[in-house]
Structure 1
Amino acid sequence: MAKESRCIKILKNEGEMTRRKLIEEGLLDNSLKPFSDECHLYIPVTGDIPGAATEIFEERDISAPLPRHELIGGIAIIQDCDRDGARRLLDSRPVIHTVLYSEGPVTGEYRTKDYIVLAGKNTTKTDYTEYGQRFLIDLSAAYFSARLANERQRIAAMMKDGERLLDMFAGVGPFAITLSGKCSVVYANDINPAAVSLLYDNIRLNKKKNILPVLADARCLGGIFPPGSFDRIIMNLPMKSSEFIDIAFRLCRPGGMIHFYTLQSEPGEMEEELGKYECGKISERVVRSYSPSQHHAVYDIRVI
């Protein structure tokens, strides 16, 4: 059935961030389906928002819940190989063009996943916007998670202007690009050539002038940069970061900060290992749940 409702009209690439904000403010009318034209998205709202217009919307069929999913730009990744659920999810939001199912965990030296297309376009590529930064993503070529968006903002808020930053496992550049506004220079390293190629694209897309991509095994960075070269180091390789701790401590200056990400089952699992190094204050926090038995954690380490 069709129903008249107040709505807001926005550009398509602003759709997901706007939807999240409306949900937080309790203004999204989830009983109606948004729709789009060539450039714009029309989202139904429950409140009288300044500048809102009136349009006709199709009512949702809310008899069956939508599958749990992670949304990255126009791609939704669901947890089960459910083609019916994928189709309902595809139809639920005009911003979604593809629904994928991951066949397994991140594997290999290049940290990639294999995906099955369950609904929509036959692609693993999308354009993703995060806090005003745009990223070209290819999920089959390089790992990316939108779930660290708030974590990237947290670190940006900690930084001082003019820092020298090393991102040891940069991927397509979400940390490097987000944090570059506080930096004099960013060295963004990855061993995956496809990730570094996308990183180049994203640097150009966001018009960044102070990011230098590096294609290298992180084990070699100690031979590329002299000791104490950096004020801050990002180590977001949660399954293997512990293999590179000594390099990070060698490259971080005294008084600098290392952000060490890991997967763990209990709080404090890495404290003994980190205690072998010259550490000042160590703060630990949970970033997100990873599995029923593990969580993604970060240790903020002050080097002395």
Structure 2
Amino acid sequence: MFGVKVHKLEGEKVRRKLIELGILDKEHKVKRDGEFLIFPVKEKVEGFEIVETEFELVEKRPHSYREVVNVPEHLKLLLPSSFDIIGDIAVIELPKELMQYGNQIGEAILKVHKHIKAVFAKGSAVSGEFRVRELIHLAGEERTETLHKENGIKLRLDIAKVYFSPRLATERMRVFKKAKEGEIVFDMFAGVGPYSILLAKKVRLVFACDINPWAIKYLEENKRLNKTPNIIPILGDVRKVAEQIKADRVIMNLPKFAHEFLREAMLSVKSGGIIHYYGFSHEDNLFDEHEEKIKTVARELGKSVEFLERRKVRPYAPYQYNIAIDFRVF
């Protein structure tokens, strides 16, 4: 094969030039020869020292764990195309037909994604007062605590003890962009603080409530980790806290049950303040049912609402969506 030989100090400049000319052979590795580098090229090119030599092939890494996993051929169509990555832990949802191959699937994920250190399967749905699920260890380290990074913040958490979804990072940033400096925010179901920590970087004060003591423990740690002293963590039932707070903006990230806490949210927001409401809906009726509940509670409290934005946040289940409704309360 042909190669372009240059002194190592000229290596980066020459590499860029060969790419620009479209002749760098990216399927083979660059060769070292003492103080010199030899770049594999597809053809001879004038203006460079050309040598003939042998090059090693670049090892092509698979793009997906499904390319390397060892499961029966007839089951490969059942392999999930995606999974959650929380810090350095992967959490995958496997159909029952694949559970017996969990270790092979976990090892394949570790092989393809070098930054992942542990793999778990979802063993149950999210349930209970603390919104947690059973997890089944598949491969890698047997630990459930990790450090997750998103939107420029750090979140330490234990995925077995608290609820957390990395799939809401974009939604959290959307709310952050809408928040104003000087605001007081009430995060009604704060968890380990993905909304609270982010918003505290911008607003004046955040009241962050959760009934799960583990969530508040990690929220306290994340408050220190991110240097956000303007967060007030509150351990307890949000129903007992609500009317004591008057906020410019309220976050209701409890999609399955948020409608049951609309009264508390509206009693906690200042006149003209904004509520970010989340729910689950069938694709045939995404917003109407939720908006009717919002208007009903507002009437009962002698208040009025103005709907500002409606959006699908993400698919949740077949034909089901996690939806967001932003509305102002007067």
TM-score by shorter chain over 0.5: yes
Q: Secondary structure at the match of 2:201?
A: helix
Q: Which runs of 5+ in 2 are unaligned?
A: 1-26, 28-56, 70-78, 299-303
Corresponding position: 1:147 with 2:167:
yes
CA contact (8 A) 2:243 2:267 kept: no
CA contact (8 A) 2:62 2:112 kept: no
Q: Deviations over 1:51-89 (max 9, x none)?
A: xxxxx9743357447742111110111111332121101
Shift of 1:159: 1.4
- Give, in whole Å, the separation in 2 of the partners of 1:245 and 1:224: 15
Pick from 250, 259, 269: which aligns with 2:267?
A: 250
The structure with the largest strand share of the pair is 1
Shift of 1:254: 1.1
Residue 116 of structure 2 aligns with an amino acid whose one-letter code is I
Residue 79 of structure 1 aligns with an amino acid whose one-letter code is E
CA contact (8 A) 2:184 2:206 kept: yes
Shift of 1:150: 0.6
Query: Which residue of structure 2 aligns with residue 238 of structure 1?
Result: 255
- Cα 1:259–1:223 shift into 2, 3 Å: closer
Pick from 286, 301, 319: which aligns with 1:267?
A: 286
Shift of 1:101: 0.5
Q: Deviations over 1:99-143 (max 9, x none)?
A: 110111111111111101101000111111112211102011100
- Give, in whole Å, the separation in 1 of the partners of 2:243 and 2:59: 61
Q: Which runs of 5+ in 1 are unaligned?
A: 1-30, 32-55
Residue 60 of structure 2 aligns with an amino acid whose one-letter code is E
CA contact (8 A) 2:189 2:208 kept: yes
4+ long deviations beyond 6 Å: none
Pick from 55, 72, 78: which aligns with 2:92?
A: 78
Query: Which residue of structure 2 aligns with residue 184 of structure 1?
Result: 204
Pick from 136, 151, 155: which aligns with 1:135?
A: 155
- Give, in whole Å, the separation in 2 of the partners of 1:218 and 1:85: 40
Query: Which residue of structure 1 aligns with residue 311 of structure 2?
Result: 285
- Give, in whole Å, the separation in 2 of the partners of 1:142 and 1:250: 27
Residue 106 of structure 1 aligns with an amino acid whose one-letter code is V
Bigger-Rg structure (1/2): 2
Q: Secondary structure at the match of 1:186?
A: strand
Q: Deviations over 1:12-55 (max 9, x none)?
A: xxxxxxxxxxxxxxxxxxx9xxxxxxxxxxxxxxxxxxxxxxxx
Q: Secondary structure at the match of 1:142?
A: coil
- Give, in whole Å, the separation in 1 of the partners of 2:108 and 2:58: 17
Residue 253 of structure 1 aligns with an amino acid whose one-letter code is K
TM-score normalised according to structure 2 size:
0.72
TM-score normalised according to structure 1 size:
0.78
CA contact (8 A) 2:306 2:327 kept: yes
CA contact (8 A) 2:186 2:208 kept: yes
May I ask how many residue pairs the two structures share in their alignment? 248
- Give, in whole Å, the separation in 2 of the partners of 1:115 and 1:170: 22
- Give, in whole Å, the separation in 1 of the partners of 2:89 and 2:160: 12
